[in-house]
Amino acid sequence: MFRFLAHLKRQISTTNYKRHRAALKSLVAQFATSSLCLTPPFLYAVVIMSSLDHAQVIVQCLLAIFSLHSSVNALVLVATTPPYRNTIFRKRPQNLIIVPVSISQGL
């Protein structure tokens, strides 16, 4: 995908290229996070099928870790998506244009 994006670099504007690249990085990070979150259920199955000492404690820890996957995915989304990251750190867009609007109720 990054190679394909590099070929598009000549055809699209610099701003769009940066946006596409940031979106692609965000998607890759989210995919990696989702893949890592599949590890606890896999280990859960391994622990259940084998007869380990303290299996119940291990399973409880794995379930606690697995329950964090949505929070971890949200943090990765915020950390890897520039508009969300800028909102969290209170960075305002530089090219923001504010237009005053008047609303009147005419009868």
Dump pLDDT digits (tens) for 18-45.
888 888 888 888 888 887 778 888 888 8
Give the number of residues written for the chain: 107
Contact 40, 66 (CB under 8 A): yes
- Please, which residues have CB within 8 angstroms of residue 52's CB and are 6 or more apart in sequence? 58
Task: DSSP letter for 100, please.
Answer: -
For residues 98 and 55, give the distance between their C-alpha atoms in angstroms, rounded to a whole number. 60
**pLDDT of amino acid 105:** 73
Residue 99, CA distances (Å) to 93, 96, 103 in order? 15, 10, 13
pTM for the model: 0.59
